[in-house]
Structure 1
Amino acid sequence: MSIRNLKHLFRPRSVAVIGASNQADSVGAVLMRNLLQGGFAGPVMPVNPKYTAVAGVLTYPDVASLPLTPDLAVIATPPAAVPALIGELGARGTRAAIVLTAGLSQARDEADRPLTEAMLAAARPHTLRILGPNCIGLLVPGLGLNASFAHIDALPGKIAFVSQSGALCTAVLDWARAKGIGFSHFVSLGDSADVNFADVLDYLGSDPGTRAILLYIEAVREARRFMSAARGAARNKPVLAIKAGRMAEGAKAATSHTGALAGADDVYDAAIRRAGMLRVFEIDELFDAVETVARLRPLRGERLAILSNGGGPAVMATDALVAGGGRLAELGEDTVRQLDAVLPATWSRGNPVDIIGDADARRYAQSLEILLKAPDVDAVLVMHVPTAIAPGEAAAQAVAEAARRSERTVLASWMGDYAAERARAVLDAAGIPNFDTPDQAVRGFLHLVRYRRNQELLMETPPSVPSEFTPATATARLLVQQVLASGRDQLSEPEAKAVLAAYGIPIVETQIAASPEDTLRVAREIGFPVALKILSPDIIHKSDVGGVVLDIADEAALQAAAEAMQARLRAIFPEARLTGFAVQRMARRPGAHELIVGMSTDSVFGPIILFGQGGTAVEVIGDRAVGLPPLNMTLAGEIIQRTRVARLLRGYRDRPPADLDAIRLTLIQVSQLIVDLPEIVELDINPLIADEHGVLALDARIRIAPAAQPGPARLAIRPYPRELEESAVLRSGRQVLLRPIRPEDEPAHAAFISRLTPEDIRFRFFGLVSEFPHSEMARFTQNDYDREMAFIATAPDAHGQPETLGVVRSIADPDNQRAEFAIVVRSDLKGQGLGRILLDKMIRYCRARGLRELVGQVLADNTAMLGLARRFGFERHATPDPELVEVRLALE
């Protein structure tokens, strides 16, 4: 739904407990005890007709008898009573409820509706928000609110924990209490009938009391809303996730390699990465990771130096780093020379830096300061093993002082227990994450590395597509519709290749022959040598039945191969239909890599794209990576880099590098294909051969089905809305294109802002800003089109290069009720009507998406903007700041 009325859930001023009880150990009794003992400052009002008082508090017989309308109601009654109670509460004015009761989805009301459905129907007219049902409840320690039946309270803190598992909630509460870990919010979602991950992420993502968000995920519903909320929250603060159910119960039957290879856990992993979150796999790892990620500055790079007074632990850390895919810093000659000056002659003279067992605090400080200034080091892991000569506490103090003077990342591992206790307290006080073992310390560093990479995907400016890409969408769509009309759900290989060719993917020439004799005619047209493949809608993998013969040199060999292929099929699969043969020109690309590019449809996240090493043994090799469309060059490159074959594609020995731009472009072309053609449910290009000359699709398979919704609607991330592009003409006669902004626009957008006058900057940003960092420019150009929109006016400059002339931007609230807008036009273009054109475009867009109000803040002396707003019918309102005016336009 949205964050509407969630403030009543997370910050209530009063609570009603419906089903409160004096019966020992009942949910209603534990709930009352927790609320009263938690220190909640507002009234707690028990409701139960059986009691005069519960836990010593006057009890009311029903909702109507309550002396005031509760902000929040907590319901612990039998399932059948819940829908009516929700209706009574909504009519009374309550806007949030926690339903602890289980079993609503199994039970039915008099109209034979599931009680969950009846409950939501009762809540809907009042926009009453429901957490649960079948949940443990909610804790907000900062308010003293323990609206749960958990066995233990939570300590206050800055971390929010959100879980779909009630059993895990109680275990984590117990575990965190023992370790002194506190929470800003502790949320049990239960069945998520109403309030779900997306709603909570939207709320907590902008909550100033929450420093980081932890998620325990069993299953996601409404993938697009989840992705949109997760990406928004992850831009503001660290979001970490555990995804349960990593191993599939069994592989589904699939008609493509991609369908067989892309497991559900791979897709969740891709979604978590794409959202800029960090995935971990254990509860203790989750809390270790959040302390590391939330406490430290972002990494400048990934090169780690290891500093230790013991060689064995340093080697263990090095092994763990390399095994985890980390990068050990290579110390330059100057760094080694500086270390030579302060260390004994017997030091390791490399990384890891073993400063010998008798190292004192001074040696630690001197070595660490050198490493923190070294140009070849991005982060340092400092380790200490206890010795009688070198006390750990003094070394920890020296490390803390050196780290305080540097902006680089420092992590620590003080080994031991009793001897390291005081040293760890010193490191804690200095904000340096410290770990018990080398493996744990390296794991902490790798959390930072993975988090940095995922965040960079959110902020990185993708390069432009290397060549013009204009698909023949109508041609491909017509072919797909013809196949569907014929009653088939599988394109033949030539048909599949025709679709790929319509999207600019290079294919090898392929023609269909109806019989062994007909293959001769086709081969004469194509020219020998040729490859021959069987065509049968009942055979998925042709090579499994000997249905592929390569490098056929003449007509006699071709006819013999076709006849043998036909006889073999009749012997092995007599029921299989033989529709003909595919004859294709033999592609000679010696030394080319065999790759696979594919697409399948995930039940949660919709279309996904797969890339990896291809060939007939693709499932056995298992080298693949999965990503979510839409893709750009950066995202396509990131998918490629997560495979083992990527190292081969970069070239080795006498093998030149493959054309990586061509491979990335192929992934983008497939991405666009599945956006444009919603009928496509599975696709394989295997093999896609790649070398320094480019790529070539040798085989292709596409499965289709009637489209249930438009192509963009089935994606978990809304693609670039090309349908919003339109042309306009300025008063000067110059034609401009109005279109949504794209990540690739960052360089042009930076140039646009650089040409704004100081007054333009002041009017737009309410202050003088000399320059914007890349992270801010990325926010300007990387829009989540489901939530925000920026339209730019662009036109070719004198050299034919596109330049940005003006921009209008709006950001809608998660309720899709109200949007704030801002607009700026280059000073040298004012008076051309561009501001009017842009604002008209934004108003039409906001009306079309159902927003109720468009709001903007304008400096009082910005008379031109105030005049433009007045002409469009905006009403002017005063603000507490006399220098600011708010303008509002009702859109309904």
Structure 2
Amino acid sequence: IRVKEFSDLFNTAEVLDADNLPKGRRLAIITNAGGFGVMATDALIDLGGELAVLSEKSIKELDAFLPGYWSKRNPVDVLGDGDKDRFIRAMQVCVNDPQVDGILVIYSPQAILKPDTLAECVVAIAKKSRKPFITAWIGGQYVQKGREILIRNNIPTYDNPEDAVKTYLYMYHYHRNLALLYETPAELPVSGGPPKNHLKAFIRKIVREGRTLLTEEEAKDFLHNYGIPVTVPALANHVEDAQRIARSLGYPVVLKVVSPDITHKSDVGGIKLGILNDEHLINSYEQILSAVRQNAPRAEITGVSVQKMLEKIDYELILGCKKDKDFGSVVLFGMGGVGTEIFKDVSIGFPPLNQTLARRLMEETKVYKMLQGFRGRKPADMKQLEHLIVSFSNLIVDFPEIAEMDINPVAIAQGQVIALDARIILEKETIAENNHYPHLVMTPYPSRYTTVWKLKDGTEVTLRPIRPEDEPLEKILLSNLSEKTLRQRFFSLIKDISHEMLVRFCNIDYDREMAIVAELKEGDQKKIIGIGRIIGESDQRVAEYAVLVHDQYQGKGLGYKLVDVLIGIAQEKGLEEIYGIVLTENNDMLTVAHKLGFKTKREPDGITRVVLSLK
């Protein structure tokens, strides 16, 4: 969870282990001071929350015991003469309302009700509720005893409504982030591996030349190789060349200065848009050269690029990356074009990104609502944008040499996404580093473990690390195993294959554990026919392994191959030992272990421990 103020750091840390996190933004506010209720409402709306709309049933129930002149809506003002009975009944109504996700109780000192008395009432109701309670006890030292009661019972309490509302929304975002983390991403069409070796060689050449800034054409070549649609610039060294290129492309066109010394072309007058004819082009060409010579007199001008101007653009976005000294490479997404620096509507994330994380990155911006369509503009294709962000993330992962990169704008026109401009700045220092990913704080998908292998009968399978997207395939595998195979793998029958269980199997930390699946393709369909898994213990010296093979594919060498692959991974990770717990009756797995050099030891309750020393 990302907080914006120093005080929020402590407020949020106190509630991250709360028993009940809000499942939505809809907050019910109960108060004995209408003014504080209004302040809480304003804060809630400003911060992106939602004031719960109470059901008709709830309004009728509140009408039954509140004075006739109460507000008739949320916030529920029990008024200055409200006693504990009013508060209790109001809280019970809000807890039972399905349109309420959480309850904020605001207390202001009144003669009729003591702060500690109400605090005890809140504790009693909150303990029975699955909805989170958060409180604001206003009144300084006078309400301290009540606040202590709330704190002892793990109910967040604050001395003003605004902090209470902020913390509630942090709780909601934390719950949402957890849910998204464990959501099964859809599989995106990603190529088997972009051609990147020639790009690595190109970077070395550029650095030897003493350059760190790539030209637009060079930067777009990187994007194109990673499947990101781009406009193609053509270089003109003379105005006559520019005219010829423009005629072949067809007007209108865009002119941009090309220089290895200029990072932001618009800052020096190096861009001209909407050029409609030859005369307009001649004037614009000279204006660009004149402006650049005046604003950047030391810059080397290679030429001027000409490219077709994209018309009828519905949306402009920015997609960028910058390397932070503490967090490594960070991805930025938001409103692009001229609105980038004016509105500063951006969100950030850490590569590698999958489809789910790409969607979350977009959802955290205001421009995301615009992308749903407005004022006659069609909604943007979210799948295209997700694919764009994932491809951009893959590019960042593969090139630690990139210090900065941005596409601004990413244009959406006639339903298509295309990069109109691109900038890449290189960082020399990372080129000599031996670490594969010195610029990432999270380990990316370990594609180096992917290989093709054949069963004894010649059937070709792909062995690869598991992905979160594999949840549906793993569920099919587990649902179609015999009772014997299930018992040999899990030591019991699995009656309920839950989403939570599958998330634990498929969404793993590649640093601490590894799961290799055997994937078989039948026509257009893929299925998983076996899984080998290794999980490191806390000391990272020893790990436990387990293997599962579908009944139909047992006896074909797959179990042996999976264990052998796991041994190799364990050796690469520097483990000293791996072991497995096998049912003593499972002769097939014990035979595999014996052939691979494991030592066996019978233990009580019908199990055998197999151990392989790697040192």
- The TM-score, its normalising length taken from structure 2, stands at 0.91
Residues 804 and 339 of structure 1, relative CA distance in 2, 3 Å threshold: farther
Structure 2 Cα separation of the partners of residues 432 and 826 of structure 1: 49
Structure 2 Cα separation of the partners of residues 778 and 510 of structure 1: 45
Q: Name the residue aligned to 1:862.
A: 586
Task: Report the CA distance between 1:888 and its aligned residue.
Answer: 0.8
Q: Secondary structure at the match of 1:538?
A: coil
Residues 490 and 421 of structure 1, relative CA distance in 2, 3 Å threshold: closer
Structure 2 Cα separation of the partners of residues 569 and 441 of structure 1: 53
Matching of residue 412 in structure 1 with residue 412 in structure 2 = no
Equivalent residue letter for 2:397: V
Structure 1 Cα separation of the partners of residues 373 and 190 of structure 2: 23
Residues 579 and 382 of structure 1, relative CA distance in 2, 3 Å threshold: same
Matching of residue 749 in structure 1 with residue 474 in structure 2 = yes
Q: Name the residue aligned to 2:63.
A: 340
Residues 298 and 821 of structure 1, relative CA distance in 2, 3 Å threshold: farther
Residues 854 and 341 of structure 1, relative CA distance in 2, 3 Å threshold: same
Residues 746 and 461 of structure 1, relative CA distance in 2, 3 Å threshold: same
Structure 2 Cα separation of the partners of residues 459 and 711 of structure 1: 26
Structure 2: 5+ residue runs without aligned partners?
none
Which aligned pairs between 1:185-584 and structure 2 lie closer than 5 A? 273=1, 279=3, 281-282=5-6, 286-416=9-139, 420=143, 423-424=146-147, 426-428=149-151, 430-465=153-188, 471-474=194-197, 476-477=199-200, 479-484=202-207, 486-584=209-307
Structure 1: 5+ residue runs without aligned partners?
1-272
Matching of residue 642 in structure 1 with residue 364 in structure 2 = yes
Contact 1:659 1:692 in 2 (8 A): no
Structure 2 Cα separation of the partners of residues 289 and 574 of structure 1: 51
Task: Report the CA distance between 1:583 and its aligned residue.
Answer: 0.6
Residues 713 and 440 of structure 1, relative CA distance in 2, 3 Å threshold: closer
Q: Name the residue aligned to 1:104.
A: none
1:842 aligned residue (563, 566, 569): 566
Matching of residue 688 in structure 1 with residue 413 in structure 2 = no
Q: Secondary structure at the match of 1:543?
A: helix
Contact 2:335 2:346 in 1 (8 A): yes
Contact 2:12 2:167 in 1 (8 A): yes
Task: Report the CA distance between 1:290 and its aligned residue.
Answer: 3.8
> Can you list the C-alpha shifts for 1:296-344, whole angstroms capped at 9, x where unaligned?
3233333211122321222222222223332322223333334334433
Task: Report the CA distance between 1:572 and its aligned residue.
Answer: 4.2
Q: Name the residue aligned to 1:107.
A: none
Task: Report the CA distance between 1:529 and its aligned residue.
Answer: 2.1
Q: Secondary structure at the match of 1:843?
A: helix
Q: Name the residue aligned to 2:320.
A: 598
> Can you list the C-alpha shifts for 1:389-429, whole angstroms capped at 9, x where unaligned?
34455544443333333222122334335664554455455
Structure 1 Cα separation of the partners of residues 409 and 217 of structure 2: 15
1:818 aligned residue (526, 539, 542): 542
Contact 1:461 1:743 in 2 (8 A): yes
Task: Report the CA distance between 1:519 and its aligned residue.
Answer: 1.2
Structure 1 Cα separation of the partners of residues 599 and 192 of structure 2: 45
2:423 aligned residue (701, 721, 725): 701
> Can you list the C-alpha shifts for 1:711-736, whole angstroms capped at 9, x where unaligned?
53432212111121011222343221
Q: Name the residue aligned to 1:673.
A: 395
Structure 1 Cα separation of the partners of residues 256 and 45 of structure 2: 45
Task: Report the CA distance between 1:837 and its aligned residue.
Answer: 1.7
Q: Secondary structure at the match of 1:712?
A: coil
Contact 1:809 1:821 in 2 (8 A): yes
Structure 2 Cα separation of the partners of residues 422 and 624 of structure 1: 43
Residues 883 and 381 of structure 1, relative CA distance in 2, 3 Å threshold: farther
Residues 534 and 637 of structure 1, relative CA distance in 2, 3 Å threshold: same
Q: Secondary structure at the match of 1:653?
A: coil
Structure 2 Cα separation of the partners of residues 423 and 679 of structure 1: 57
Contact 1:663 1:690 in 2 (8 A): no
Matching of residue 802 in structure 1 with residue 533 in structure 2 = no
1:788 aligned residue (497, 504, 513): 513
Task: Report the CA distance between 1:699 and its aligned residue.
Answer: 1.1
Structure 2 Cα separation of the partners of residues 485 and 392 of structure 1: 72
Equivalent residue letter for 2:454: V
Structure 1 Cα separation of the partners of residues 163 and 303 of structure 2: 60
Q: Secondary structure at the match of 2:194?
A: coil
> Can you list the C-alpha shifts for 1:843-887, whole angstroms capped at 9, x where unaligned?
1221222221111222333333333222222112355x5344322
Task: Report the CA distance between 1:582 and its aligned residue.
Answer: 0.4
Matching of residue 611 in structure 1 with residue 333 in structure 2 = yes
Task: Report the CA distance between 1:770 and its aligned residue.
Answer: 2.5
Residues 804 and 500 of structure 1, relative CA distance in 2, 3 Å threshold: same
Q: Which has the higher contact order (CA 8 A, sep 6+)?
A: 2
1:720 aligned residue (414, 420, 445): 445
Equivalent residue letter for 2:57: D
Task: Report the CA distance between 1:791 and its aligned residue.
Answer: 0.6
Structure 2 Cα separation of the partners of residues 295 and 669 of structure 1: 37
Contact 1:476 1:502 in 2 (8 A): no
Residues 280 and 526 of structure 1, relative CA distance in 2, 3 Å threshold: closer
2:485 aligned residue (747, 760, 772): 760
Contact 1:728 1:738 in 2 (8 A): yes
Task: Report the CA distance between 1:438 and its aligned residue.
Answer: 2.1
Q: Name the residue aligned to 2:386.
A: 664
> Can you list the C-alpha shifts for 1:265-308, whole angstroms capped at 9, x where unaligned?
xxxxxxxx4xxxx657446x555444433243233333211122
Contact 1:790 1:809 in 2 (8 A): yes
Residues 298 and 751 of structure 1, relative CA distance in 2, 3 Å threshold: farther
Structure 2 Cα separation of the partners of residues 429 and 566 of structure 1: 71
Equivalent residue letter for 2:586: N
Residues 722 and 427 of structure 1, relative CA distance in 2, 3 Å threshold: same
Equivalent residue letter for 2:326: V
Equivalent residue letter for 2:96: K
Residues 529 and 279 of structure 1, relative CA distance in 2, 3 Å threshold: closer
Contact 2:23 2:176 in 1 (8 A): no
Q: Name the residue aligned to 2:354.
A: 632
Task: Report the CA distance between 1:467 and its aligned residue.
Answer: 6.8
Structure 2 Cα separation of the partners of residues 340 and 388 of structure 1: 24
Residues 772 and 438 of structure 1, relative CA distance in 2, 3 Å threshold: farther
Equivalent residue letter for 2:460: Q
Residues 567 and 629 of structure 1, relative CA distance in 2, 3 Å threshold: same
Equivalent residue letter for 2:464: R
Contact 1:677 1:711 in 2 (8 A): no
Structure 1 Cα separation of the partners of residues 198 and 244 of structure 2: 27
Task: Report the CA distance between 1:616 and its aligned residue.
Answer: 4.6
> Can you list the C-alpha shifts for 1:39-63, whole angstroms capped at 9, x where unaligned?
xxxxxxxxxxxxxxxxxxxxxxxxx
Larger deviation, residues 626-635 vs 539-548:
539-548
Structure 2 Cα separation of the partners of residues 568 and 282 of structure 1: 45
Larger deviation, residues 639-648 vs 383-392:
383-392
Q: Secondary structure at the match of 1:669?
A: helix
Contact 2:94 2:100 in 1 (8 A): yes
Which aligned pairs between 1:60-99 and structure 2 lie closer than 5 A? none
Contact 1:602 1:608 in 2 (8 A): yes
Q: Name the residue aligned to 1:830.
A: 554
Contact 2:137 2:157 in 1 (8 A): yes
Structure 2 Cα separation of the partners of residues 446 and 775 of structure 1: 25
